[in-house]
Amino acid sequence: MAEGTVKLTIDGNEVEVPRGTNVVEAAKKAGVEIPHYCYHPKLPIAGNCRMCLVSLGMPRMTPERKPEIGPDGKPVIGFMPAPQIACNTMAAEGMVVQTSTPAIVKARQGVMEFLLINHPLDCPICDQAGECRLQEFAVDYGKGESRFVEHKVHKPKQVELNAKITLDNERCILCSRCERFMRHVAGQDCLGFVQRGSHTELTCYPGQEPRTNYDLNIVDICPVGALTSTDFRFRQRAWFLKETKSVCPNCATGCNTVVWTREGEVLRQTPRDNEAVNQCWMCDYGRLNYKFVNDPRRLQQPLVGGRPADWQAALSKAVQVLQGAQGALAAVGSARAATEELFLFGKLARLLGADLIDCVPRQGEADHLLLNADRNPNSRGAELTGVAADPLGSRLSAIAQGVREGRIKGLLVLGEDLGKCGIGPELLAKLEALVVIDLLPNGTTEKAGVVLPGASFAEKRGSFVNAKGRIQRFNPAIPPVGEARPEWQILAALLRSLDPAQDYSTLEGVFAGMAQEIPALAGLSLGRIGDQGVELTTAAAAAG
Amino acid sequence: MALDVPAALSRQIDEIITHYPPEQKPAPALWLLHLLQEQYGSLGQEQVEWTAARLGIPAIDVWGLVSFYPMFTEKPRGKYHLKVCRTLSCEMGGCQGVLQAIQKHLGIGPEQTTPDGKFTLSTFECLADCGNGPVMMVNDEHFANLTPEKTTALLDHIAQSGLEEQPLPPVQPAHPAEKRLVMAKLSQPGYDGSLASYQAAGGYQALRKAVGMPPEAIVQEVIDSKLRGRGGAGFPTGTKWKFIDKKSGKPIYLVCNCDESEPGTFKDRVLIHRDPHLLLEGIAITCFALGAKVGYIYIRGEFPKAVAIVQKAIDEARAANLLGKNILGVEGFDCEIYLHRGAGAYICGEETGLIESLEGKRAYPRIKPPFPAISGLFNCPTVVNNVETLCNIPQIITNGGAWFAGMGVPGSSGTRLVCVSGAVVKPGYFEFEMGKLTLRQLIFDICGGLREGRTLKGVIPGGSSMPILTPEQLDVTLDFDAIQKAGSMAGSGGIIVLDDTTQIIDAALNIAKFYAHESCGQCTPCREGTLWMEKMLHRIKDGQGRPEDVDLLWDVADNIEAKTICALGTAAAWPVKAFTTKYKAELAQVIASGEGKH
């Protein structure tokens, strides 16, 4: 037994776990599922669902506090007469856990039956169907038939808990996960129980609904369809959705996410576990900010002189126009762009002789949990690839000044509306060359000679480096809309036209180039970043 | 705070808040709600929000309290709130007749108010006076031995002349077979429960002796006495005291459980109303032994007079240096006793449910571990003891643990109070030496047997939670081990006798309704299962039972038993299991005869 660990046996499997591990987690390690509803690894223990009942035994001790040895030479195990909940039981040395004795099987069937007797037959209209623990555990651990022939208890349905969340009290199994989350994580004591016994209801006080930036996490943790996202209500069946691992692009925290899509449309986002970044939560602001991806106003075709053009023509025109302004060019990039894109952007800008390169800052108020004051997901990536001033954005006024004084005749813009940094339409009108890569039309695209439609975070691969120096990758959930292309491809094409020696034909190739030139990224690749990301200082130290 | 609370009430509230540690913000909530409801008649949004603001707790938590405890109401009630007990002994005594008389006389049903605003009718669960049923409370006044005629006459009288303060009923005279030790003083003629009376009868000598003993020696005496808890579980008291964590550095608390709510039980009522100083002395000695500086007495909300009686006793004791600071001149021996009112929840009799209620929350029992001796009230080491248990402590100190252990039988020392209600001619409360009497002797020799022409159907030996014993099992002695061997438990000492006028289906349904109503709702098996059992029994009673229902009832009970957070689940399961096993034929008969009805 190593320091600070205990060895126990679960369904015949011996497993060693750190001291303080509960039996549900220990069982997971042993490859055994102990079903549960109210237990959540990040919340205080409630122990009310009774689904995780197991048979617990400890070695019997002699009066001298030594384990009693039986005729087979093994410690005699004394089992507790009643089943115990696994979530509130700490693994102990020599403990024996049985999760499927006939008594436990019956106990679990009993709990399942109790949960279902007053549960409404809402599956056909309930959003939770397909990702519902009541459904899953009923199949895995239930009896398969109901013996209840009485009238069910009726409670309020379709309650607007707040604008984001719909509550159905009949479906609620009173596990209290939502209540514990709001009190202990989100920090607003607004949810609680009223009435008593079988008539108990979850609710909030009138006028004191949840209003934190984390409310929607209770939809994630609700094991049933009692709390559902109003935004997602009735939009799609869970089993039709494609899941793509991604990273939230709405601030520098970089919460790990899953983007759920069907037929080219993003339908919702949920958090993905990453202990080092966001545990298992994400904020509502980031979660709900995906609608721009499928916004009908998305730029779907290249534009030359304001008119649709094909890619070949548009790229040629862009090269021509940029070469024309060579030496008198500045570049404004975006800290919302991927690191790979910013790497190519910097190369392109410097090739064109731009010595004023910067990105646009985006600051807000940080909250007590995840939301970072820096609303750009990749400020660190911009710094690493040398396309940001120090501090980021401090060169923008010089660029504006240059345009105003006519010293800067051309701008290469990646994903930003320059009206936000003091370069409005009147200044843009002075430029001879304005090439813009962006997603949605704005004041800058309107003035651009060439507009090249780019792809959102949900339509391409790439990486962000978060505020803590962690590089994380995201994946395409849908193909780029219309004829839009991932920015790295657009920038690689422009670069290739201007300098055939700089030929990046794959994203891996771009990353490899980055890893060679930027010490912090040495030895890394998109493959090595994996699904949980890599802390850059560690990686650099390991590689160097 | 939109509410304009009168200055005197506000001062009273301020004072009560000092009874709890300041960081325990919700703790005074039940007191505030009682007082506000007395002032304003109901607890609507204004009162809820005022309470939330005054205590600094969320309004949802206050609403949670108002809706959890049946004594509280969100909507206004009539001037006179009629609370008629509907639990087993009162039902067998005829409470349905009383209810129907009220409904006919006033023209209102349960939870309705007369148009003139005078009367609101409610049914309540066991009011702890089962030997004198049917019983009804009107506001804070208690009326017993009701008949339909007496009830309507009472209503007319109240409507005309108002509600008069009722005297406490006289103390039941001792039966020769009794051995009144705990009840010794209160049985003396002229005894009035005052400090003077108590001291004249030798009271507080035990406390004087105790403060001269090392605390561990006091604990040892109680261990030697082999005293077992008198609340229901029968856990060895000295052992419970020994578990207390004295090394944590946190304050230690003693809590007295006066939430007597187990149907069939009405003994703590007598002790607390009639001999408060005996309880206070027991608490003071216990606090000294445990190192507790604060004791709380949790009094069920339906004992409003006990609050005034015990508070008066506390004030007397403090004035006489028997409570408060440096008690009896012993430097550093401080003990304050505070009263805390419940508001109508049987689950507050469960020790951790009680603790949650004392902390000002919904009475949701806690998962264990941790146990109260390590982390209880306010997460501090706590001992919870029953009223009668604590009332035994002074005599154990005075006469020694060995003396106490020398009475009774092995496994059940000393004397205990038992209550008999139901089908006997002479119900009442008695104090017997443990193990010296059988159930048969108790029922037929002490309590006058059954009424003319009636036959015995069964006896519940320890409160409605305990499995019923059949007439063949009557020769069991009144002690913990004997009754356990017979397949039941001595429990709270509430003995309920059923005769052939009671159908088992009615008894089972009455008890099932009780548990469904009292379930706190926290955990799945009890929350869903108790109401399911009630509905099944109701359906059988209504003539729509099916042959498989008897086994189904047993199985549902089995799925609840021992699977829940607290013992209420098991308490709901045991009666159903006992009825469906021992009276299977009778239930099958009811089902069969009902089959033609649908």
Contact status, residue A247 vs residue A464, Cβ threshold 8 Å: yes
DSSP A7: E
Tokens of A359: 């990105």
Please tell me which residue of chain B has the smallest CA distance to A206. Answer: B60
Q: Is residue B146 within 8 Å of B252, Cβ to Cβ?
A: no
pLDDT for A2 equals: 59
pLDDT digits (tens, 9 = 90+) for A34-54: 999 999 999 999 999 999 999
Tell me what the mean pLDDT of segment A428-447 comes to: 97
Q: What are phi and psi of A336, to 5 degrees?
A: -100, -5
Burial class (CB in 10 A: 0-12, 13-18, 19+), A2: exposed
The token duo for B254 is 């003693």
| B538-542: average pLDDT | 96
- Please tell me the predicted confidence (pLDDT) of residue A48: 98
| pLDDT band with cut points at 50, 70 and 90 for residue B209 | very high
Cβ(B215)–Cβ(B221) under 8 Å?
Answer: no
Amino acid at residue number A151: H
- B198 contacts B394 by C-beta, under 8 angstroms: no
Residues of A in contact with B45 (CB under 8 A): 206
| C-alpha distance from B90 to closest chain A C-alpha (Å) | 23
Q: What letter does residue B322 receive in the DSSP assignment?
A: S
B521 vs A: CB within 8 A: yes
Q: pLDDT for B105-150, tens place per residue?
A: 999 999 999 999 999 999 999 999 999 999 999 999 999 999 999 9
Contacts of B522 in chain A (CB under 8 A): 48, 174
Residue A542, pLDDT > 70, answer: no
Q: Please tell me the distance from the alpha carbon of residue B273 to that of residue B193, in angstroms, as a whole number.
A: 8
Measured between beta carbons, the chain B residues lying within 8 angstroms of A191 are: 60
Nearest residue of B to residue A45 by CA position? B367
- Whether the Cβ atoms of residue A198 and residue B527 lie closer than 8 Å to each other: yes
How many whole angstroms separate alpha carbon A16 and alpha carbon B336? 49
Angle between helices B524-541 and A102-117 (to 10 degrees): 70
Nearest CA to A53 out of A84, A28, A79, A32 is that of A84
What value, to the nearest 5°, has the Cα angle with vertex B45 and ends B40 and B46? 55
User: Does residue B308 belong to the interface with chain A, where contact is any CB pair within 8 Å?
Assistant: no
Q: Would the CB atoms of A192 and B559 count as touching at under 8 Å?
A: no
Query: Smallest Cβ distance to A50: which of B67, B524, B530?
Result: B524
| B250's tokens | 């946190």
Q: d(Cα B439, Cα B482) in Å, to the nearest integer?
A: 11
* A336 closest CA partner among A445, A415, A231, A272: A415
Q: What is the pLDDT of residue B568?
A: 98
CA distance A361 to A353: 23
Structure tokens at A319: 């090269």
- Which of A81, A174, A197 comes nearest B517 by C-beta? A197
Give contacts of B29 with chain A, Cβ < 8 Å: none
Cα radius of gyration rounded to whole Å, chain A: 29
Q: How far is B59 from chain A (nearest CA, A)?
A: 6
Q: What does the longest C-alpha to C-alpha distance in chain A come to?
A: 96
**Residues of chain B positioned with their CB less than 8 A from the CB of A47:** 367, 523, 565
- To the nearest whole Å, the CA of B368 is away from the closest chain A CA by 8
Percent of chain B past pLDDT 90, that is, above it, reads 98
Q: Is the pLDDT of residue A544 over 50?
A: no
pLDDT in tens, B273-322: 999 999 999 999 999 999 999 999 999 999 999 999 999 999 999 999 99
Interatomic CA distance for residues B363 and B351, integer angstroms: 10
A10 phi and psi, to 5 degrees? -125, 115
Chain A residues whose beta carbon lies within 8 Å of the beta carbon of residue B516: 197-198
User: Does residue A539 register a pLDDT over 90?
Assistant: no
Nearest CB to A197; choose among B519, B552, B558: B519
Which residues of A are less than 8 Å from B60 in CB distance? 189-192, 194, 203-205, 208
Rounded distance between C-alpha atoms, residue B404 and residue B222, angstroms: 9
Average pLDDT score over residue span A476-483: 98
- Mark yes or no for CB contact A53/B68 under 8 Å: no
Q: Name the average pLDDT for chain B.
A: 97
Q: Please name the residue of chain B whose CA is at the shortest distance from the CA of residue A146.
A: B552
CB B327 within 8 A of CB B284: yes
In the numeric block, the tokens 């090739």 are attached to: A351
Residue (of A335, A279, A276, A342) closest to A535 by Cα position: A276
Cβ neighbours for A150, distance < 8 A, ≥ 6 positions apart: A117, B532, B535, B536, B539
| CA B288 distance to own-chain centroid | 26
Write the Ramachandran bin of A259: left for phi over 0, alpha for psi from -120 to 50, otherwise beta: beta
At A230-248, the pLDDT tens digits run: 999 999 999 999 999 999 9
The type of residue at B347 is I
Q: Which residues in chain A are contacts of B367 at CB distance < 8 A? A: 45-47, 85, 88
B338, B304 in Cβ contact below 8 A? no
3-class SS of residue B81: strand
User: In this model, does residue A543 exceed pLDDT 90?
Assistant: no
Contact (CB, 8 A) for B43 and B36: yes
Question: Which residues, including other chains, have CB under 8 Å from residue B298's CB and lie 6 or more apart?
Answer: B255, B256, B257, B258, B259, B340, B342, B348, B354, B357, B358
Average pLDDT over residues A297-313: 97
Cα of A51 vs its chain's centroid, Å:
29
Q: How far apart are the first and last CA of chain A?
A: 35
Residue with tokens 């679990």: A108
Option in B367, B552, B559 nearest A47 (CB): B367
Residue A58 in contact with partner chain B when CB distance is under 8 A: no
Pairwise CB contact (< 8 Å): B528 & A117? yes
Instruction: Return the pLDDT at B598.
Output: 43
Residue in B366, B559, B568, B591 to test binding to A, most A beta-carbons within 10 Å: B559
d(Cα B397, Cα B405) in Å, to the nearest integer? 12
Asked if A162 has any chain B CB less than 8 Å from its own CB, the reply is no
Q: What is the pLDDT of residue B596?
A: 45
- pTM of the entire predicted model: 0.96
Asked if pLDDT for residue A537 goes beyond 80, the answer is no
Chain A contact present for B560, CB below 8 A: yes
Contact B527 A200 (CB under 8 A): yes
Examine the pLDDT at A1 and tell me if it is beyond 60. no
Judged by phi (left if over 0) then psi (alpha if -120 to 50, else beta), residue B425 lies in alpha
Structure confidence at residue B555 (pLDDT): 98
Quote the tokens at residue B242: 């020994």
Q: Which of A37, A56, A170, A198 should one mutate to test binding to chain B, selecting the residue with the greatest count of B CBs within 10 A? A: A198
Whether chain B has a CB inside 8 Å of the CB on A197: the answer is yes
Give contacts of B530 with chain A, Cβ < 8 Å: 197-198
Coil, helix or strand at residue A471 = strand
In this predicted model, what pLDDT tens digit does every residue of B442-485 receive, in sequence order? 999 999 999 999 999 999 999 999 999 999 999 999 999 999 99
The answer, for B520 touching chain A at a CB cutoff of 8 Å, is yes
Average pLDDT, chain A: 96
If you write DSSP's letter for every residue of A61-82 in order, what string do you get? B-TTS-BPB-TTSSBPEEEPSS
**Rounded alpha-carbon distances, angstroms, from residue B304 to A79, B138, B567:** 46, 11, 27
In contact, B300 and B258? CB cutoff 8 Å: yes
What's the CA gap between B289 and B292, in Å, rounded? 8
In this complex, the residue of A110, A197, A206 whose CB is nearest that of residue B525 is: A110
Interface contact B529-A196, CB threshold 8 A? no
- Under the banding of pLDDT at 50, 70 and 90, the label for residue B2 is confident
Quickly list DSSP for B430-459: EEEETTSSBHHHIIIIIS--BPTT--EEEE
Report CB contact under 8 Å: A150, B562: no
* B437 pLDDT more than 90: yes
Which of A178, A196, A204, A208 to mutate to probe the B interface, most B CBs <10 Å?
Answer: A196
For chain A, give me the number of helices (H) and strands (E)? 16, 24
Q: Is B529 on the interface with A (CB under 8 A)?
A: yes
CA-closest candidate to residue B262, choices B145, B355, B349: B349
Q: How far apart are CA A416 and CA A516, in angstroms?
A: 28
